[in-house]
Amino acid sequence: MMRTFSALFAATATLALIGAAPAPSLYTEADFARVAKLDAHVHANRDSTDFAEIARKDGFELLSINVDYPDFPPLAKQAAIAYEMHAADPKHFHFATTFSMQGFGTKSWTTQAERAVDAGFAHGAVAVKVWKNIGMIAKDSAGKRVFLDDPRFDPVMAHIQARGLPLIAHQGEPKNCWLPLDQMTTENDRSYFSEHPEYYMFKHPEEPSYEELMAARDRFVAQHPKLAFDGAHMASLEWSVDELARFLDRNPNAMVDLAARMTQVQVQSNANPAKVRGFFLKYQDRLMYGTDLTDSPIDPNARAQNPPATGNFKKEADDAWRSDWRYLATALSQPVPAIKADARGLALPRGVIDKLYYTNARRFFHLKG
């Protein structure tokens, strides 16, 4: 009884502070498992039922994204796992396919990429993913750096659009990537870029700047106004809800997911809760919940586990999902080690939570059933 009273008091106080609707319009922590949800950004890279089992228990559908990432299993293995898991439960397990950048600039590359898209589509893919290697790593057959607005992508993008598939684009990195470690806003970014120096652009001033990468991405989106576009990881504008709002205003056909960027949102909401909550309310039709949870085979040589593998993936997933629900759906506070502070919840109304967690992604990815 005392805990229930305290939670209600905290919710009422927060809502009064930010001028929101009364508490009965909110979900509670007890509602978590019973509300339909979809995590629109995960990576199921292991031939296991663990991910599907915890998702089913917690009330989630999954969108698993195949990606041209050297720390993940080979693309063929990722595809085989996605095909098998989708076939086993097509109502709850969805996936995005991808294509390799190997051979970009050669005569056969376009055909190769389109065949990869078609193979995924034939097995039930609902989207296509491009990764940050475009702009940050990949070079063409002449050794020149490749950016997403390169016109040589146009035939493949037209092919994707003709298939009716959205594009999920991870372009660039968090802005922290271009800052010294002691100026980064979150501990998770400090950890990731310390362990991935090849992606830590502060150490590579010879590489494209954050602003150059964002400009190339923005040109691409403007050049393909009819292509449904999902800016993964808050379109790498996680550092400012104001900047993200401007991106969404400029690009009415774009959506963004929240994957692996919740801590950057919490930094901002701790500074200005009304502004961040107002952003979620205004853009409630343009945001999709995602985590970047990654279930990969445990490999002592791999450095990309999101969160770091403990041998108990089900608990990791459940903990992450419940923490995000507490932050987004309730007014309750919780400690967030990545920002070395407590973060009070945004207490978003039920209707907004339903869109953020479920209906937006199902509409955007044309999911049926």
pLDDT of residue 12: 41
Q: Give the pLDDT confidence of 157-180 residue by residue, as tens digits.
A: 999 999 999 999 999 999 999 999
Determine contact, residues 86/94, Cβ cutoff 8 Å: yes
pLDDT confidence tier of residue 7, bands split at 50, 70 and 90: very low
Check residue 151 and give its pLDDT.
Answer: 98
Summarised one tens digit per residue, pLDDT across range 70-107 is 889 999 999 999 999 999 999 999 999 999 999 999 99
Spatial separation of the C-alpha atoms in residues 55 and 317, rounded to whole Å? 8
Q: Is the pLDDT of residue 296 over 70?
A: yes
Task: Find the helix or strand (DSSP H, E) in which 109 lies.
Answer: helix 109-122
d(CA 106, CA 179): 36
Retrieve residue 321's tokens: 């999902």
Is the distance from CB of 296 to CB of 46 less than 8 angstroms? Answer: yes
Helix (H, G, I), strand (E, B) or coil at 43: strand
Instruction: Give the tens place of pLDDT for each residue, 336-368.
Output: 999 999 999 999 999 999 999 999 999 999 998
Upstream peptide bond of 174 is cis (omega within 30 degrees of 0)? no
Q: For the whole prediction, is pTM greater than 0.85?
A: yes
Query: Per-residue confidence at 313, pLDDT binned at 50, 70, 90?
Result: very high
What does the angle CA 309 – CA 313 – CA 319 come to, to the nearest 5 degrees? Answer: 100
Q: Provide the pLDDT for residue 297.
A: 86
Q: 309: pLDDT confidence band, cut at 50, 70 and 90?
A: low
- Left if phi > 0, otherwise alpha if psi is -120 to 50, otherwise beta: which for 344? beta
Specify the pLDDT at position 14: 47
Return the higher-pLDDT residue of 300 and 71: 71
Place 307 in a pLDDT band, splitting at 50, 70 and 90: low
198 token code pair? 């090849």
Distance CA 55, CA 234 (A): 23
Please report the pLDDT score of residue 23 as a whole number: 57
- Two structure tokens written together for 275: 């502004």
Confidence of residue 249 (pLDDT cuts 50, 70, 90): very high
